Each structure stands twice: as structure tokens, then as C-alpha cells.
Structure 1
């Protein structure tokens, strides 16, 4: 695999962010899987704003992503300009890469992902704040939409089994084998198995569990280790092979997309955002199971 130590400045460390917390041109956003901000209010990285992922990143009615115009209104209302550096972290980690991907498609160019997010920040003994940022609205001219990293169900189906493309299923092993449609929660009180009409996987997909790409503290593995893991998953794929990542809702798929694109330097990686929630529910679409 093509490996590179150059992250194109997309991935930044907690130390990098800590040294820039007083920079008014660096803005931080915490993206949460929970629809309440209790954890954020209890303590967050100083200066960070809070987003519930669905409200911030999806169209209100169309189950589509926000447009450049909608993003411009949202960021502008937060006092963020098109030239500001936006640093994103997720709670959990994959919601950070998901927001990074969506904002890329919606046209904000100056993005960074905080390596390790909240978990690493706390592990390093860095301070938390209970104060939300205070910023005045600014004018934000919408950027240009860029959907070149997104692929839809019809394209995926049309190219099943064709040379030059490989599918990476980054869900939990139980999901990949067809035992579940959603990841196990680890808590039987909340272990709901829902999200698609059928269990299974897209035919021909190779398994690469997304958590294998990050450490326990949510920091990414080194490019060398990531390259080895990807080689094991798609050993016959050279640098010209197009890689398509998917999971259940595409959050985990974007973590693999980020690692492959920005840490391994591969341009030909796409996200199938419909993922298993869509594919597993469409009448007549083929599936595999163990």
C-alpha cells in the first residue's frame, strides 16, 4: 500500500490544539451521538461548541446531508468564517470523522480532526471547561459542494465483483457475519438490534473492523501499522484499486475513509453512506452471510 507520514495537516494532536486555544481563528466543535448536551455541559475542551450529529449534519426533512448554504448559515451563526480552522472531535470517535467528511462535502476547506478527541485530551491531563464559547455571528459565503468521496447504492450494485474496486465492511464481526444488524452495545439493558430488515453483508465485501485502526485512547495507529492492516484486508489491491467503505449508518465507514485517505495518502477511497441500513432493507438487493 502507498504509505505516507504526511497527514496533510488533517490530523492534529492535543498538544497542537492546546497551544492554539487562544487563537480566535481556530474553532473547536464537539460532535455527539447523544441528542442532549449533558456530557458537554459537565466538561468539554475549552472553547468547543456542541453539535448533535443528526441535527447539525443532516437536512431537517430529506435525510440528506446539509448543503453549503445550510452549513454557511450554521457556521456563520457560531461566529465561524470560511477562513477559520475548524477542529472537530467526536464522542464517540467515529462521529468526529463523520462530521469531517460531511463538512468536506459541504465546502468548508480548513478542517482538522483532533487525534484521540476527548478521551486522549483527558488522558493527557488537560483542562476541561463548562463554559460554552461566546462569539458574535459573522458573514459566511457558502463554499462549493464536493461529493467526489460519496458513492450510492446503484453504483455499488452495478460494480459488484468488478476488478478495480474492493468493498470494506468496517462493522463489528457479528454484523459482518450476519448475526446482527447493529453493533453489540456491551450492555444488555440497551442491546437493541435494529437498523435494517436483514442481516448479512454486501457480496464480496472484506472485513476490516474500524476499531482495529485506532488505539484504546482513540488515537489512530501509525501509518505503517494502518498500511499493514489494510494490506491484510485487501491483499490483492494495489494503489489503483478503488476502495469503498461502509458500515450501518456510515459513521464508522468515515473513520476508515479518513485513515486511508489522510494517513495512507490514497485518493481513491469512497464512502457508501447508505451502508447496511439501506442495503439490508432493499427488496431484491443481494446479500451474503456466513
Structure 2
């Protein structure tokens, strides 16, 4: 069976509104600044208030840090165990039989993060290209108010191994010619030219840089596949290699992952804790220009 494309356009979603099998979710989170010297790089704030101020008709709201992350982890947004995710997604009416569409506000990275999480659970969701920003720019309908939700389901995941890795797996691949490690942060952070809110400035040694921001257009949609392929190819990211993606907190790198998936790459994984862990651990090597 052919897997669905991970992207859906605003036109396609508009035609699907009202479908009883559709499960549509706003995934927005905001990273708010914290005082200098804080133990955390930012404060994770759910986008429930902006959801209430305006959402696509029929949508529900998913709180990434509140319901879908490991609360015991030192980093934000870490993948919890499968049982927690089954209960949380099931409570929001999601299961593999539904047509799942994800969107977010301001940046697509929150919806692509949920897309990658669901992919690891065996669910092929789709992400709204351009998110709510493009939807509103086109004058499409928006409702206000709190989420009404969907009838709960019993969600049984079919986990796929290897879509998330930890620091030990990354460290073991340093210098491996069969592996390319890709940093999705901005070039100035990759090169260690600016202070990092995650800890020591710099990058995982040997990693290459394909910034998530460089893969997004001005209207918040993703760049063309041809442009994305050119950027990955220029960085030495090829289909024959194992590709490990990372960023600051395992969020923006999922934009790279979505485009790589569309391009047919199939040896992909995400270093979940990313620089939020790596930069703070003095036992882990770091590289700067």
C-alpha cells in the first residue's frame, strides 16, 4: 500500500472539512524567553490561547509538552513511552483508521514534530503546508472558542524502531563514513559563532548544516523538493547513508525529516534530546569553527 504524502495543501484540507473520518489538530507551542542564567533554554507555553482566538473549523488542540512529552525528562518535548502516547492520542480521538491532519501557527515545526512522533507509532499523518498562517491569509474560515474535541478511541500503536536515538547512539556514529549527522539549527549556531541558549556553543563533531529555516518560504510553506534536494546534496546528505538529524530540542529538525521523507530517504532518525542535552554534557565532544 502506498503511503500518503506527508503534506496536505490548504485547498485539499478545505475540501476535506466535514469528513467524519478527519481528525484535525492544532499543535502549536510557544518557546518564551527566560531570564539569563536560567536552568532551561526557554519556557514551553501551549498554544491553547491562540487556538481559542482562531482555529480551523473542527480542529482539536494538542499540548505537546503537557500531554505528549516525558515529564520526568530534563529536556522539554522528549518522547514519552508508548503507553502514555496511546492514552493521550486516544483521548483526542486519534487512531490509525482516521485521516489525521496536523497544523501549527507561525512555524510548521510543531506539526512536523507530531508527524514524526505519529510516524514512529505507525500512523501516517499529514501536515498542513503553511499552517494556520496560510489558511488565514487565503481568507478561509476560522472559528473561535475552546476545543470541542473528538470522541475518544482506543489507540493501539504499532511502533517503528529507530526513528528516535539517544546521545550514546549519536556518539557511536561519530566518524562513521556510512552516517551523516545533520544540524538543523542556523549557520551561526552550527559554527559556534554566537552564544547558545542550550549550553556550550558549537555542533556535534563532524555534523553538517542544513538549517530548517532555509527550507521554509516567506509564506510559511516548505520549499520545493528540488530546492531541498539541492541543499541536502550540497551538504553531503545522500540516500546511501544513515542520516541523524538534530537541532536544539528535537523540534525544528523534523522539518528536515519531512522533506527528506518526501525525497525518498528511508534511513532517517532524530536525536531527540539534541543540543539541549549534548551542549550541557562536558563528557560529549563539541566542535566550532
TM-score, normalisation: structure 1: 0.86
| Equivalent residue number for residue 109 of structure 2 | 94
- Looking at structure 1, the residues matched to 71 and 238 of structure 2 have their Cα atoms a distance apart, in angstroms, of 40
Alignment of 1:14-25 (within 5 A): 14-25=10-21
* DSSP-derived class of the 1:70 partner: helix
- Looking at structure 2, the residues matched to 40 and 135 of structure 1 have their Cα atoms a distance apart, in angstroms, of 12
- Looking at structure 1, the residues matched to 27 and 112 of structure 2 have their Cα atoms a distance apart, in angstroms, of 9
- Looking at structure 1, the residues matched to 104 and 248 of structure 2 have their Cα atoms a distance apart, in angstroms, of 17
Q: Is contact 2:26-2:104 (8 Å) kept?
A: yes
| 1:188-235 per-position Cα deviation (integer Å, ceiling 9, x unaligned) | xxxxxx222x1111111111111111211121122111111111121x
Alignment of 1:77-156 (within 5 A): 77-91=91-105, 92-105=107-120, 107-135=121-149, 137-156=151-170
Gaps of 5+ in 2: 31-44
Cα deviation, residue 134, structure 1? 3.3
What is the aligned residue count? 269
| Equivalent residue number for residue 40 of structure 1 | 51
Bigger relative CO (Cα 8 Å, ≥ 6 apart):
1
Distance 1:266 1:127, change over 3 A: same
- Looking at structure 2, the residues matched to 26 and 204 of structure 1 have their Cα atoms a distance apart, in angstroms, of 43
TM-score, normalisation: structure 2: 0.86
Cα deviation, residue 7, structure 1? 7.9
Alignment of 1:208-223 (within 5 A): 208-223=210-225
- Looking at structure 1, the residues matched to 58 and 155 of structure 2 have their Cα atoms a distance apart, in angstroms, of 23
Residue 11, structure 1, aligned to residue 7, structure 2:
yes
Residue 30, structure 1, aligned to residue 26, structure 2:
yes
